[in-house]
Structure formats: structure tokens, C-alpha cells
Structure 1
Amino acid sequence: MKKSYKNTVRNSLILFAVCLMVHTIEVMFIRTDETVFAECFINKVFGITALFWVLSRLKMNWRDIGFKKEAFLSSTAKGIGICAGSYLAAFAAEFIILAAQGRPAHLEFFVTGFSLTGSTVKLTGAGFVLMCIFFNIINVWMEEGVFRGFFIKYISCGHDRKKALYISSLLFGLWHLVTPVRSLLDGDMSSTEFAVMSVGYVVLSMLMGIKWGLLYQMSGNIWIGMADHFFNNCVVTNLLHVVTADGVDEMQIIRVITGELISFIAVAAYSRIKVRKEVYA
């Protein structure tokens, strides 16, 4: 039976604002991603802790927001498959473009962070790889748990599923605005570049949020979207890199946009087909 809660949107916005404040402080001032950790993880640990507290206050548990252990293996495999298939096409397109430009490329495996400005810090060694994997698990646990698992589930208790999906995705897009703001304030971007990058980054993050939200709503568990999210961040962005004689990951943003658009279209199309089948069944 669907539980009833009051002021679900307002309460979700309060949780978002508190988490965003911690996220902003870390990105702007603490700058954990510029340390040996190469990742802003403090806000993610805070978000997970806050979610534990909120769930207990609402008398909900992790299973209620999609963390169902019996669906873990099969759903994780599906999520990895979605991401791997989409980015196989994106990597192939990138290699073809570079070859056509007379710039042959190859793949290298090392740790680095995602950058909107193209700067790359190369970290090698098993310790950095394990640290990267660990922090990415923390990252997707927080972001999928809060933005998909909790917001969609909780807002759906007072509003329809579509509204819950779109609100959670909008908040997820705004969450990612902090990164381009820092680049602007640091002088790494002009105001024009900031306008283009911030709009593009927020819109792309919203589309990713819709995709993972649809996967959550269709499957009833968090694992498919979480696995896709993890593979995207950890493998495609942080560990696997396209290297040419001129540099590293010069087309990374194009690769990410291509891969995410492919998977978004595929998931959205499948969702529509599934809804139509249920309507006419």
C-alpha cells in the first residue's frame, strides 16, 4: 500500500538545499578533488548520513527506496550492459573521428578526474585505482540513493510518477552547476564558456537523471541505474582514457554526450514501448 506523506516536494527541497550547501563548501573551499583523493567525497558521505536520518524519521528503510538485495546481481549486470553498449559506440565514433583527422589514438588505463576545462592529472598505481573505485561507490550510493531512490519514491507519495521523475531530475541537474561555477570563479572559463558549459552540463545531467529515474521506476530497484552510473563515472571517465600524440581525452565531453544520448534514447524508447504494452494489455 502506498504511504501518504505531506509536503513531499518542500521537504525534498530542504534536503536538497542542505546537501547542496555542503557540496558547494567542499567544491569551492575544501577542494578535496584537488588533493590526493582526487574526488569530492565529503558531501557524498554527508548525503548518505543525512539519508539514513531522513529514512529513520519517515519510518522508511533502504529497501523501500529500491535497495533490494534479491535483484542486485541481475540488475547490476543490466546496468553495466547498458553503459558498456552505449560507450562502445561512443568510443568507436571517437576513434574514427581522430583517425580521419590523422591523429591515431589508443586506450590507456590510469586514474584521473572529470574536467570541463580539459585539464588532466594522471595517477597510476593499484592504490589510486582502488581509491577511485571506492569513492565512486560512495558517489553513486549517495546520488542514486537520494535523487532516484528517495526523491522519486517520496515525492510519488504525494504526486504522480512523472512529476516525481522530473523534479528529481531537475534537482540532479542543478546539483552539477557547482562545478562550472568554480571554473568560472577560478578563471578557467570565460563568462561565455561558463554560460554554454553550465547549460549543457545541467541539461545533460537532467537527461541522465531522467534515464536513471526511468530505470528505477521500471525495475522497482536502484541497481540498474546505479551500475550504469558507476560504470560511466568510474570506468569511462576516471579509468579508461583515449590518448593521442597531442594529449589525453581531448574529446571526452563529446564522448560522454554521445554515450549518454545513446543510452537515454534507448531507455526512453523502451519505457514508452513498455507503457504502451501495459495500456493495451
Structure 2
Amino acid sequence: MDQTIFAENFINKIFGIVLLFVLLKQLHWDISTIGFKKYGLVKTILKGFALALFSFFIAYTIECSILYFQEKKIYLGFFITGFSLTGVGSIQTGIGFVFINIFFNIINVIMEEGTFRGLFYQLINTRYSLKTALFIQALLFGIWHIVTPLHNWIDGEISGMGFVSLSIGYIILAGMMGVKWGLLYRMTGNLYAGMADHFFNNCIATNLLHVVSNTGIDEYMIFRILIAQIFSFAIVVFLWKGQKIEGLK
């Protein structure tokens, strides 16, 4: 898998976008129904990027501090790598690879946010409460990400028990992210803030901006992502509760 530019990860995202539009037509919905609104595009994108920048600034600072106190030489590297739970893959430094990475991640957030926070959220909400819809779409989003440890298991890089433990961890982490982006959707009325935060996590913090030391690359990437996501999740929940209280005045 993933031996060419047009790997299965790209193909399934394109297929997902096509299927999303087919389903919208069947439901007689337009794209605004699932959060692709005409208003607030720039404003909410900037909010999403601000949330990601602040959260990952904290995460990168903690990561670099840990390596510094271990007396390692560290610097930030800007290059392309494929994300893996078992270590860094091939490194690409060409500008063409950077643009391809950006393009693929735009496709990714359109498909995933449009499907989970958009279509699934609205479909579930037609029968159940907004709260139930929020948590079900987040659970589905978590299950969707089992494919990452599944790759490693199929390739023999992890054991069966490793696959189970990583899958549970992924469901929890991705599920938490799904709740966060769902709350951003409810607070802003569109998908763009969540898409910006999602894009920054996948494109910048995972694939482009790396912590390099004399003993390796991204040795604490999982902890970096975990710290940033927990921190940003707490911010969004705090803002959500504040908005609810304000709405009751």
C-alpha cells in the first residue's frame, strides 16, 4: 500500500467525496445543509488555525523541552514524511511534495469533515438529539481511524495485541477530536473552523514540521499530538460551556 502518489488513502477520500455528493442529491440536500455555508469562511478558518497554532505551540514547546533536558541537540525540520505509528518513513524535501501534501490534506478534510461532522451529524440528528448525534459521529470517526494500526498489523510491524491496544487508543483520541470539531461546528454554524484545525494537525504537525534530534526524528510525535489535542479540546469545551451560559442570560 501507499507505493505511489495516488495511493489508497487518496483514492478512498476522492471516492468518499463523490459518494457524499451522491447521497446529498438522494436526500435533496445541498452542501450548506451539512455545514459548507457561504458565510463565515475566512473568519472561521482563521479561528480554527488560531486554535491549532496555540495548542501545537504548547505541544512543540513541551516536546522540545523534554529532549533538551535529555541533553539532546534539537531543531525543527521542514520536510515531508508519511505518518506511521512505528516510525518515520521516507523523507522528501522538494517543494512539489509540499504542495502535493497540502492538496491531499485539503481533500482529506473536505471528505472527513463533510462526512462525519456534516452528513452523519445531520442524519443522526433527524432522529436523535444533537448530543447523541455529536457522540455517535465522533465514535464512527474513531472507528474509521483503526485503518492506521491495521496497516501496521498487516505489514507485520506490530503484534495482534499491539493492534488491539493501538486501535482502542485511536478510537479514544480520534473520537475526542471528533467531539471537538463537532462542537466547533455547533458554535460557528459551519465546518470551516474544524476543517482548519484538522488540516493543521494532519498537514503541518504530522507531515511537515518535525522535531529533529541527534537520536532521531519525531521521537515524541504521538505525545505532541496528544498534548495538543487534549489542550485544544479543553479550550473548545470551555468556550462551548461559556457560550451556553451566555445564551441563557
For the aligned pair, the TM-score class normalised by the smaller chain equals: over 0.9
Pick from 219, 222, 230 the counterpart of residue 261 of structure 1.
Answer: 230
1:103 aligns with 2:72: yes
Aligned counterpart, 1:208: 177
Deviation at 1:268, TM superposition (A): 1.0
Aligned letter for 2:140?
A: L
Q: Deviations over 1:101-149 (max 9, x none)?
A: 0112100111112111113210111110110000000000000000001
Aligned counterpart, 2:105: 136
Q: What aligned pairs does 1:211-230 form with structure 2 within 5 A after superposition?
A: 211-230=180-199
Say if 1:177 and 1:198, in contact at 8 Å, map to a contact too. Answer: yes
Aligned letter for 1:147?
A: F
State the alpha-carbon separation in 2 of the partners of residues 272 and 98 from structure 1.
36
Say if 1:39 and 1:135, in contact at 8 Å, map to a contact too. Answer: no
State the alpha-carbon separation in 1 of the partners of residues 74 and 7 from structure 2.
25
Aligned counterpart, 2:62: 93
Structure 2, unaligned runs of 5 or more? none
1:50 aligns with 2:19: yes
State the alpha-carbon separation in 2 of the partners of residues 182 and 69 from structure 1.
38
Say if 2:81 and 2:88, in contact at 8 Å, map to a contact too. Answer: no
Say if 1:86 and 1:260, in contact at 8 Å, map to a contact too. Answer: yes
> Which moved further from structure 2: 190-199 or 206-215?
190-199
Deviation at 1:169, TM superposition (A): 0.3
RMSD of the TM alignment (CA)?
Answer: 1.3
State the alpha-carbon separation in 2 of the partners of residues 36 and 55 from structure 1.
29
State the alpha-carbon separation in 1 of the partners of residues 183 and 131 from structure 2.
10
SS at the partner of 1:188?
Answer: coil
Aligned counterpart, 1:28: none
Q: What aligned pairs does 1:13-162 form with structure 2 within 5 A after superposition?
A: 31=1, 33-36=2-5, 40-162=9-131
Say if 1:95 and 1:104, in contact at 8 Å, map to a contact too. Answer: no
1:191 aligns with 2:160: yes
State the alpha-carbon separation in 2 of the partners of residues 214 and 198 from structure 1.
24
State the alpha-carbon separation in 2 of the partners of residues 256 and 195 from structure 1.
20
Deviation at 1:69, TM superposition (A): 2.5
SS at the partner of 2:215?
Answer: coil
Say if 1:39 and 1:113, in contact at 8 Å, map to a contact too. Answer: no
Aligned letter for 1:186?
A: D
Deviation at 1:39, TM superposition (A): 7.2
The percent of aligned pairs where both chains have the same amino acid is 47
State the alpha-carbon separation in 2 of the partners of residues 39 and 80 from structure 1.
28
Aligned letter for 2:35?
A: G
Q: Deviations over 1:207-227 (max 9, x none)?
A: 000000000011110100000
Deviation at 1:38, TM superposition (A): 6.8
Aligned letter for 1:233?
A: N
What's the TM-score, normalizing by structure 2? 0.96
What's the TM-score, normalizing by structure 1? 0.86
Say if 2:48 and 2:194, in contact at 8 Å, map to a contact too. Answer: yes
Q: Deviations over 1:62-102 (max 9, x none)?
A: 11111112211000000000001000000000010000001
Deviation at 1:158, TM superposition (A): 1.6
Deviation at 1:171, TM superposition (A): 0.3
SS at the partner of 2:218?
Answer: coil
State the alpha-carbon separation in 1 of the partners of residues 88 and 65 from structure 2.
23
State the alpha-carbon separation in 2 of the partners of residues 255 and 93 from structure 1.
8
State the alpha-carbon separation in 2 of the partners of residues 165 and 113 from structure 1.
30
SS at the partner of 1:69?
Answer: coil
Aligned counterpart, 1:6: none
Aligned residues: 249
Deviation at 1:152, TM superposition (A): 1.0
Aligned counterpart, 1:172: 141
State the alpha-carbon separation in 1 of the partners of residues 26 and 103 from structure 2.
28
Deviation at 1:191, TM superposition (A): 2.7
